[in-house]
Amino acid sequence: MEQLVLLPGLLCDEAVWKGQVDALSDIASCTCMDWGRLDSILAMAERVIRLAPPEFSLAGHSMGGRVAFQVVRMIPKRVKRLALFNTGADAKPPGEAGVEEERKRRALLDIAKTQGMRAFAMQWLPPMMKPGRMTDKDLVESIVQMLERKNADIYEMQMLALLGRPDANPTLPTIKCPTLLLSGSDDSWSPPARHEEMAAKIPNSRVVTIPDAGHMAPMEQPEAVAAAMRDWLNIAV
């Protein structure tokens, strides 16, 4: 049984991985990390390193992908396979672009503090989804309820982690394990082209683009994501 460690993204928990955990239960024993009130990518990576098995496959979604880069940089020999979903390797951009990113994130923090997590979710979620997918009430409600399990203070801690994210680009050429880079075809936040660019720098990598999915691909298209993960877990190492 493969030991698979799953790293959720911003404000997400094990629910983001439920479709994959269920589909892969015959070949993988899954552990999903909880970031608690950690406020840096480094601290999150240190938690993974402390709690993970001696050897394991590692998958990270969105912010979790950024944590995964840090983990594989710190303990490359323990990570047997690496999967990066809907993510990126760049630090916060300099200049006006970085200022604008922080402004938008802090505006969402203000909504979380003054109006609550459901109001926050309804502002944050639409750009994360494939256009038109907000009409899928069951899917939207499952994501909103996941975000409501957190609070504004936790969002602030994770926001600070993202704003202070390290540049993972120097790590990419050093990654030796089989690596899957996956994005949704309609992910405007972390588009497929970004994953192609990262894959070009990682020697043993493969790119998968999931049709009809946005940034929340593991929840939007759980079966397709699980199928890609099964192929990745079946790579001999």
Task: Name the least confident of 39-48, 92-101, 225-234.
Answer: 92-101
Indicate if 60 and 124 belong to the same structural domain: no
| CA within 13 Å, CB half, 183 | 20
Indicate if 13 and 74 belong to the same structural domain: yes
DSSP H/E element including 219? helix 217-220
Q: What is the pLDDT of residues 44-88, one digit of tens each?
A: 999 999 999 999 999 999 999 999 999 999 999 999 999 999 999
Give pLDDT, residue 206. 97
Q: How many of the other CB atoms lie within 10 Å of CB of 77?
A: 10
Indicate if 73 and 7 belong to the same structural domain: yes
From CA 152, how far away is CA 147, in angstroms rounded? 10
Q: How many domains, the chain?
A: 2
Of the residues 160, 179, 201, the one at which a domain ends: 160
Taking the CA atoms of 207, 74, 230 and 212 in sequence, report the sign of the dihedral they define.
negative
In sequence order, what are the residues at sequence separation of 6 or more whose Cβ sits closer than 8 angstroms to the Cβ of residue 82? Answer: 57, 58, 59, 68, 72, 175, 177, 178, 179, 180
Indicate if 125 and 143 belong to the same structural domain: yes
Whether residue 201 contacts residue 172, with contact meaning beta carbons closer than 8 Å, is answered with yes
Tokens representing residue 229 in the block? 């993960």
Give pLDDT, residue 103. 95
Give pLDDT, residue 236. 87
